[in-house]
Structure 1
Amino acid sequence: MRLVRIGLLLALAAVGGAGGYLVSTDDAGTTSFSGPEPVAAVSPSYPVDPVVVLPDSDRPALKPDLPLHRATVGAAPFDLTLPVPRGWDRSVPSAGEWRWYPPPGNVVNTYFLRVRLIGNQYQPVDRAVDARLDALRSSENVKGLEVLSRTDTSFVAEYVSDGYRRVTMEAYLAKEDSEDSEAAYAWIALVGRRADRDGMNDLFDRIVPAVRT
Structure 2
Amino acid sequence: MNWRGTAVLALLLAIGVAAGFGASWALGDNWSGDTPAAPVPASPSLPIDPVPELLPDPRIPPLAEGLPLVRQSVGAGDFRITLPVPKGWAFFESSLNEWQWRPPEQPDFGYVLRVEQVLSNRRSIEWTLDRRLAELREDEGNVEVIDQTTDSLHISFVSANHLRHAYLRWIDPTGGDNAQVELAVIGREVDDPGMADLIARVASGIRLG
TM-score range, shorter chain: 0.7 to 0.9
In structure 2, the residue matched to 1:64 is 65
The alignment partner of 1:184 has SS state of coil
The alignment partner of 2:180 has SS state of strand
1:195-206 correspondence runs (5 A): 195-206=190-201
**TM-score (norm. length: structure 1):** 0.74
In structure 1, the residue matched to 2:33 is none
**In 2, Cα distance between the equivalents of 1:158 and 1:82?**
26
In structure 1, the residue matched to 2:86 is 85
The alignment partner of 1:77 has SS state of helix
Q: Which amino acid aligns with 1:132?
A: R
Q: Is residue 101 of structure 2 the alignment partner of residue 100 of structure 1?
A: yes
The alignment partner of 2:71 has SS state of strand
**Change beyond 3 A, Cα 1:47–1:59:** same
**Change beyond 3 A, Cα 1:47–1:157:** closer
The alignment partner of 2:80 has SS state of strand
Farther-moved stretch of structure 1 (83-92 vs 191-200): 191-200
Farther-moved stretch of structure 1 (201-210 vs 155-164): 201-210
Q: Which amino acid aligns with 1:133?
A: L
In structure 1, the residue matched to 2:167 is 169
Q: Identity of aligned pairs, percent?
A: 34
Give the alignment's Cα RMSD to 1 decimal: 2.6
Say which structure is richer in strand: 1
**In 1, Cα distance between the equivalents of 2:47 and 2:153?**
31
**In 2, Cα distance between the equivalents of 1:47 and 1:87?**
43
**In 2, Cα distance between the equivalents of 1:171 and 1:188?**
5
Farther-moved stretch of structure 1 (143-152 vs 108-117): 143-152
Say which structure is richer in helix: 2
1:30-179 correspondence runs (5 A): 43-44=41-42, 49-104=50-105, 107-139=107-139, 142-176=140-174
Shift of residue 57, structure 1, vs aligned partner: 0.7
**TM-score (norm. length: structure 2):** 0.75
Contact 1:175–1:183 (8 Å) recurs in 2: no
Contact 1:51–1:143 (8 Å) recurs in 2: no
After superposition, the C-alpha distances for 1:109-137 in whole angstroms (9 at most, x for unaligned) are 10000000111111111111001110111
* Long gaps (5+) in structure 1: 1-24, 27-36
**In 2, Cα distance between the equivalents of 1:151 and 1:47?**
26
Q: Is residue 208 of structure 2 the alignment partner of residue 207 of structure 1?
A: no
* Long gaps (5+) in structure 2: 4-13, 22-39
How many residues align structurally? 174
**Change beyond 3 A, Cα 1:55–1:78:** same
**Change beyond 3 A, Cα 1:47–1:61:** closer
Shift of residue 208, structure 1, vs aligned partner: 0.8
Contact 2:111–2:187 (8 Å) recurs in 1: yes
Contact 2:75–2:96 (8 Å) recurs in 1: no
Shift of residue 144, structure 1, vs aligned partner: 1.6
**In 1, Cα distance between the equivalents of 2:99 and 2:179?**
17
Q: Which has the larger radius of gyration?
A: 1
